[in-house]
């Protein structure tokens, strides 16, 4: 497993909290590869009473590599004179904001992976999106679930990440209102309800402008994500009376099951 890092608990993470994060190999530099564990399924055979079974299958770990090919950094300073009394508080707030910002970048990247969805699992087209309103929300989410069923995707922990305007249509939908019971069941960042077997998560990082959206549906095993903060360094700028901090964050993701995702290209009814 990769080393623990502070971005993992960031409130900004939405997509990163619903994908696979089980991998092997430490991340020590940009360009590293981590190994995604993917055991081959055992052969299922007929059993005959009083007959010897065939020799046991030898299961090889069909590992695939995930390249850590994304890198972001932060670098800020706080002047000594302006912050003499408040420096620890301001420094901590700045570090929190940097952590949120880095997590926000990786979530944007994860939600851009809708382009890797199998062609059979696309609903509508970017050039010809599906007109979406409160009256057909449920129907479209049922359709997405059917596509995942046909691909033998497990029903547990399915998710759908939507932008605010789609969520606004959902909360007008009777089916959404009836099926959503949040209360103490809200355990994922951004979760706003359930509909048609999907946990609905809200994010401004969905590829979207008002009235258009590329909504991603899936389950945890469809995408693998790995991240690491490689270095956080406090230093004093040579020509300033200030405290400064810089940090390097690297990450990567891979769609390991293209039919484990569905993308819906939607447009608001006008």
Does 153 map to a domain? Answer: yes
| pTM confidence score | 0.80
- pLDDT digit string, tens, across residues 131-179: 999 999 999 999 999 999 999 999 989 999 999 999 988 888 887 777 6
Q: Are residues 16 and 103 in the same domain?
A: yes
190's tokens: 């951004």
pLDDT higher than 90, residue 111: yes
- pLDDT digit string, tens, across residues 10-43: 346 899 999 998 886 788 899 999 888 765 678 8
| Owning domain of residue 140 | 114-222+258-268
Q: Are residues 203 and 244 in the same domain?
A: no
Q: Are residues 232 and 108 in the same domain?
A: yes
Does 32 map to a domain? Answer: yes
Does 11 map to a domain? Answer: yes
CATH number for position 126? 3.30.2320.40
Tell me the pairing of strands 212-218 and 122-123. Answer: unpaired
Rounded mean pLDDT, 79-83: 73
Does 165 map to a domain? Answer: yes
* Domain count across the chain: 2
Does 129 map to a domain? Answer: yes
Does 1 map to a domain? Answer: no
Q: Are residues 181 and 200 in the same domain?
A: yes
Rounded mean pLDDT, 48-67: 80
Does 51 map to a domain? Answer: no
Burial track 194-232 (b if 16+ CB lie within 10 A, e otherwise): bbbbbbbbbbebbbbeeebbbbbbbbbbbbbbbbbbbee
pLDDT value at residue 252: 95
CATH number for position 63? 3.30.2400
Q: Are residues 157 and 264 in the same domain?
A: yes
CB pairs under 8 A, 24+ apart, for 99-102? 99/6, 99/7, 99/10, 100/10, 100/11, 100/12, 101/12, 101/74, 102/7, 102/10, 102/72, 102/74, 102/229, 102/249
In angstroms, rounded to a whole number, what is the distance separating the alpha carbons of residues 218 and 213? Answer: 16
Q: Are residues 153 and 262 in the same domain?
A: yes
Does 53 map to a domain? Answer: no
């Amino acid at each position: 497993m990769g080393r623990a890092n502070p971005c993992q608990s960031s409130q900004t993470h939405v997509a990163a909290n619903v994908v696979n994060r089980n991998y092997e190999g430490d991340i020590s530099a940009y360009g590293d590869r981590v190994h995604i564990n993917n055991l081959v399924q055992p052969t299922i055979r007929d059993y005959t009473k009083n007959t010897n079974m065939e020799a046991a299958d030898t299961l090889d770990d069909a590992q695939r590599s995930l390249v850590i090919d994304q890198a972001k950094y932060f670098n800020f300073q706080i002047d000594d004179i302006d912050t003499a009394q408040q420096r620890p508080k301001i420094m901590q707030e700045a570090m929190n904001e940097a952590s949120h910002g880095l997590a926000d970048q990786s979530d944007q990247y994860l939600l851009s992976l809708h382009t890797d969805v199998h062609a059979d699992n696309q609903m509508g087209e970017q050039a010809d999106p599906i007109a979406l309103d409160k009256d057909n929300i449920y129907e479209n989410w049922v359709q997405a679930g059917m596509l995942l069923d046909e691909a033998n995707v497990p029903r547990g922990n399915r998710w759908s990440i939507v932008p605010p305007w789609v969520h606004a249509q959902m909360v007008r939908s009777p089916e959404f209102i009836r099926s959503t019971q949040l209360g103490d069941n809200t355990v994922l960042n951004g979760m706003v309800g359930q509909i048609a077997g999907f946990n609905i998560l809200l994010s401004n990082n969905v590829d979207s402008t008002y009235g258009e959206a590329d909504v991603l549906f899936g389950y945890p095993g469809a995408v693998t994500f790995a991240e690491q903060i490689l270095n956080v360094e406090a230093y004093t700028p040579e020509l300033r009376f200030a405290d400064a901090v810089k940090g390097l964050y690297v990450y990567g993701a891979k769609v390991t099951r293209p039919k484990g995702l569905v993308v819906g290209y939607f447009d608001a009814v006008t």
